[in-house]
Homo-oligomer: A and B are copies of this chain.
Amino acid sequence: MVQAQTLSRNQQIVLDIIEKAKGPLKAYSILFNVQKKGINAPQQIYRALDKLIEMGKIHKIESKNAFVACRSSDCEISKATAFSICESCEMVDEISDAKLSKYLSSFNHRKGMKFKRFNLEFFGLCKKCK
């Protein structure tokens, strides 16, 4: 089990960087940013990322292999995530839309599969890049 409250030292360092970032961060760019803080190896980053994802503090943008802080309260422990991604400036915005989430959560594939989780990524041009 993962306790909701306390983050370990490395987890806190990694989360801080991701939360401060304006856009999605890649694992190795996080690594380069924390070498001054005594974190030297990819494992240390990936372990922190894994735990933070489990806790729902961050999400992985699968199409970019990058990580963003969770800005929503709806996506409890990352069971239902949706993002809009600008194909020009790389901006990522977490979509927190109750209707969308409800619609997808109750969607059932006719082949009899019961879903536990979904991830949705929209692509386009953001307001600025349009």
Report yes or no: A122 in contact with B111, Cβ–Cβ below 8 A. no
Report yes or no: B62 in contact with A84, Cβ–Cβ below 8 A. no
B contact residues around A111 at 8 Å (CB) = 84, 93, 126-127
Report yes or no: B84 in contact with A115, Cβ–Cβ below 8 A. yes
Number of chain A interface residues as a range: 20 to 34
Bitwise, A83-124 to B at CB < 8 A (1) or not (0) is 010110000010101001001100101011111111111111
- In Å, the complex CA distance between A117 and B125 comes to 10
10 residue pairs A–B, Cβ–Cβ below 8 Å: A62-B62, A84-B113, A86-B113, A87-B116, A100-B107, A112-B126, A113-B126, A113-B127, A114-B130, A116-B125
- In Å, the complex CA distance between A123 and B105 comes to 11
Bitwise, A10-33 to B at CB < 8 A (1) or not (0) is 000000000000000000000000
B contact residues around A115 at 8 Å (CB) = 84, 122-124
Report yes or no: A124 in contact with B113, Cβ–Cβ below 8 A. yes
| A73 at the B interface (CB under 8 A) | no
Interface-central residue, A109, A111, A115, by most chain B CB under 10 Å:
A109
Quick one: which of B62, B93, B100, B112 contacts A113, CB cutoff 8 A? B93
